[in-house]
């Protein structure tokens, strides 16, 4: 898989703003559900109101 490292908050904001729909709705397994608080963190959230709010 592809790994992207973002080193500043400004760059993170730009990357997430421009690629939000591509980064949302990532496939999950048991481990990701456990470590993402059931998909509630930004990295594993489904695209929708919660994702946009976070």
* 35 membership: H or E segment, kind and range: helix 30-35
User: Which position has the token pair 């990701």?
Assistant: 32
Q: What is the reported pTM?
A: 0.40
Q: Are 21 and 45 in contact (CB under 8 A)?
A: no
The answer to whether position 2 is within a domain reads no
The answer to whether position 3 is within a domain reads no
CA distance 13 to 6: 10
C-alpha closest to that of 33 among 44, 46, 49, 20:
44
Give the number of domains in the chain.
Answer: 1
Question: Which range marks the domain in which residue 47 is found?
Answer: 9-53
The answer to whether position 1 is within a domain reads no
7-48 confidence digits (pLDDT tens): 999 998 888 788 777 776 667 677 777 776 666 666 666 777
3-state secondary structure of 47: coil
């Amino acid at each position: 898989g592809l790994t992207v490292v973002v080193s500043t908050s400004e760059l993170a904001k730009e990357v997430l703003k421009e690629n939000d729909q591509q980064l949302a709705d990532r496939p999950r397994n048991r481990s990701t559900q456990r470590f993402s608080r059931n998909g509630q963190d930004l990295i594993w959230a489904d695209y929708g109101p919660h994702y946009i709010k976070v």
